[in-house]
Structure 1
Amino acid sequence: MIKGIYEAHLPVSDIAKSIEFYQNLELELAHQGEAVTFFWIEKGKSWLGLWESPQVKTPYHPSLRHIAFHVELDDLLKAKDWLEERGATLRKAFGFEPEQQPIVLPNNPQTHAALYFNDPDGNSLELITPLSIDKDIDFDMMSYEDWLSNK
């Protein structure tokens, strides 16, 4: 029955600044309203809603303010420069500094590679791609470079 995520929502403090940020990430504006603005993640399949709110500066928790965007591996490997060209900066995640990224996450049974950055309001954003499905793989999180040499 459930096929995927259709929409996700994030609070933002300045809708105009956030619209510019997400357009720089090459997301297409789907709807701009008074209360919420939507961007297509995958046109006709999934979108991101941004809500301007004075409560954005309330305590952060990733279960409430985190979006992971699926990307292909080739794009993930070029993402650091791509993000920097758009004014976004990679951030430390799980003890790994950005220059060590992407990192490989052993989320059994699915292994992923990911990069992390924030939007202007500190919402956690992630670019992620699946690497393999293998229920028998058991390893610690590592850099993509280390993962390649240990495959």
Structure 2
Amino acid sequence: MIAGLYEAHLPVGDLERAIRFYEALGLELAHRTDGRAFFWIEKGKSWLGLWVAEQVNVPYHVSIRHVAFRIELENMEKAKTWLRGRNVEIVDFYDFKPHQQPLVPPLFPQAHAAVYFEDPDGNLLELMAPIELDVSDYFDTMELNEWYRQRGHKRNPPN
């Protein structure tokens, strides 16, 4: 029945600034009205709603103000360069510095690589790529290169 995620929503303080930021990420503005804008993530399949709202002042917690964009694993190695080209800074996350990312956090049952950044309103965003499904052994958050080393994969180091 459920085929995927259709929409996610985030609060923003300055809609014009938010629109510029998400357009710089390559998202297409689908619709805009007073106090809100919608961007296609995948046209006709999923979108992101931005709402001018006082909730933008609520401190970040993983349960709110967070969106992860799926990318292909082969693009993960270019993710930081791609973000830097859009003047977007990688943020510390899981006690790892930007130069240590992409990371592989223990979010079972799937292992994935991720790079973390914020929009201008402090909403946490991530570029995420699945690595392995049905991971059963526990592991601590680690750098993607360490994941490959521990599992015997040969990969070029991420940027």
Deviation per CA, 1:57-102: give whole Å up to 9, x if none: 2333221100000001122211111111111100111011110100
CA RMSD of aligned residues (A): 1.2
Unpaired runs of at least 5, structure 2: 152-159
**SS at structure 2 position matched to 1:29:** strand
Q: Distance in 2 between matches of 1:134 and 1:95?
A: 25
Unpaired runs of at least 5, structure 1: none
Q: Does 1:37 align with 2:40?
A: no
Q: What TM-score do the two structures reach when normalised by structure 2?
A: 0.90
Matched with 2:95 is 95
Q: Does 1:12 align with 2:12?
A: yes
Superposed, 1:1-151 pairs within 5 Å as 1-151=1-151
Q: What TM-score do the two structures reach when normalised by structure 1?
A: 0.94
Deviation per CA, 1:26-81: give whole Å up to 9, x if none: 00111011132000001110000000124422333221100000001122211111
**SS at structure 2 position matched to 1:145:** helix
Count the aligned residue pairs.
151
Q: Distance in 2 between matches of 1:11 and 1:29?
A: 16
Q: Distance in 2 between matches of 1:60 and 1:125?
A: 11
Q: Distance in 2 between matches of 1:40 and 1:33?
A: 15
- Residue identity (%): 53
